[in-house]
Every structure is written in structure tokens, then in C-alpha cells.
Amino acid sequence: MTLLHPPYTAWHLSYVALGAVVAPRVVGIRVAAALLAFFLAVGVGAHALDELHDRPLQTGLSTGVLAVVGGLALAAAAAVGVAGVLTVSWTLAAFVAFGVFICLAYNLELFGGRLHGDRWFALAWGVFPAWTGYWVNALHVSAAGVLVAAACGALSVAQRRLSTPVRQLRRRTAALSGEQRLVDGSSVEVTRASVIAPLDGALQAMSVAVTLLACGLLLARLS
């Protein structure tokens, strides 16, 4: 469960659904296949490869297990994508290729980590899932699809801006102390917990809100 990281996995899977619901026609089996592919690639594969690279989640899984789990999950996701290429449209080949590439390049920090920054996070885990969810149903470009994909990218930027300092405080900070002086002369103690709490709270609220929004909109389109 630590490796799967359910809140973030559900959050990013929601982008697939948000992209799908603005397509002119929503095909349930295509949405399900896209969600399965991203669950395997992002929820399992990306987290396993990230843990393999530098142990950010500090699990007890061995290097061999992480490599096998990450490789098999990514291969299974690619297989779902190939099935889509054969049954839906050849244009999905580009999505499969990019998905495999960015999962490896981002999480293993290939090319000196050049593809591991905020912009690539927004593109890989925000724009790409939403655009895939839209494209697999619509198979053409539209303003609605572009705008929703861009919105999901912006949400990913917000997620990154909140989660980065939280990770630094939890994993790299030995101690934090200080004092916040208010205009009325009183003071509030500043601790690591007090700094983390509002950031964590915002992330939790956003993950729940985006997931519920995606589920509600998808149910509305499929009903």
C-alpha cells in the first residue's frame, strides 16, 4: 500500500476520467482500458521505479523485487496500449511510446535528471493522462480536450508545489524551530509539524476533491 500510494494514484487516474468526459462520445470499455493502463504504469510501475532509484518511500522491498514489479507493470500497461492500437486507432501508438519513455526517464531520472522537474511532472502526470483519456474516446483535437488537459497540468503544478516542501521537511529535515510574531504582540511557535499540517491538508483535500469530481462526471456521462 505504501508503494501504491493510493491518494496520489487515484488523483492521477482521475485526470484520465476528466479528459474522457469532455469527449463527444464516451466509450466505457475504452475508459476502463485507459484507467487500467495508467493504474499499471503510474500507480504500480512509476512508484516501483521511483523507489528503485532512490528509496523515497523507504519500503522494505528489495531492489530485485522493485525492478521486476516496475518492469512487469510497465510492460502490462504497454500491452493494454498495444491492444488499443490494434482495436481503436493506430494513433495510440504515439501515446504508448511516450508513456513508456516518460515513465522510465522521469522515475529513474535518466539524462541527468533533466526530465524530472516541475514542468515534466505536470506534462507526464497531468496533461498526458487527461489528453490520453480524451483522445482514446474522441480521436480528434478539440478546444475542450486541450483546455481540460491544460487544467490537469496546472493542478499537477499545484500538487508539486505543495508536495515538494512536505517531502523535504519529512525526509531531509532533522529539526525545525522558530517563532511567528503577530501584530497584537503574541507569538506562535513554528515547528516541523505546524509547517507540514496545512500543506498536507491541502494535498489531501485536493486528492479527494479531484477524485470525487472525476467519478461524478464520469458517472453522469455513462448513465
d(CA 173, CA 220): 45
Cα three-residue angle 102-107-112, rounded to 5 degrees: 85
Is there a contact between 203 and 159 (Cβ–Cβ < 8 Å)? yes
d(CA 38, CA 44): 9
Residues 61-112: pLDDT tens digits?
899 999 999 999 999 999 999 999 999 999 999 999 999 999 999 999 898 8
Which residues fall within 8 angstroms of residue 182, CB to CB, at 6 or more apart?
188
**CA 55 to each of CA 52, 60, 76, 157, 209: distance values in angstroms, whole numbers, following the listed order:** 6, 9, 23, 23, 29
Range of the domain at 69: 6-222
Q: How many CB atoms lie within 10 A of CB 93?
A: 14
Q: What does each of the 223 residues of the chain score in pLDDT, given as a tens digit? A: 888 889 999 999 999 999 999 999 999 999 999 999 999 999 999 999 988 988 877 788 899 999 999 999 999 999 999 999 999 999 999 999 999 999 999 999 898 888 888 899 999 999 999 999 999 999 999 999 999 999 999 999 999 999 999 989 888 888 888 999 999 989 999 999 999 999 999 999 999 999 999 999 999 999 8
**93, part of any domain:** yes
Q: What are phi and psi of 179, to 5 degrees?
A: -140, 130
Q: What are phi and psi of 89, to 5 degrees?
A: -165, 145
Q: How many CB atoms lie within 10 A of CB 220?
A: 10
User: Domain tally for the chain?
Assistant: 1
Q: At which residue does the C-alpha cell 530485485 appear?
A: 64
**1, part of any domain:** no
CA quadruple 189, 195, 196, 200: dihedral sign = positive
**90, part of any domain:** yes
**210, part of any domain:** yes
C-alpha cell at 192: 516541523
pTM: 0.93
Question: With the CA atoms of 108, 153, 41 and 206 taken in that order, what torsion angle do they form, in degrees rounded to the nearest 10?
Answer: 110
Q: What are phi and psi of 159, to 5 degrees?
A: -60, -45
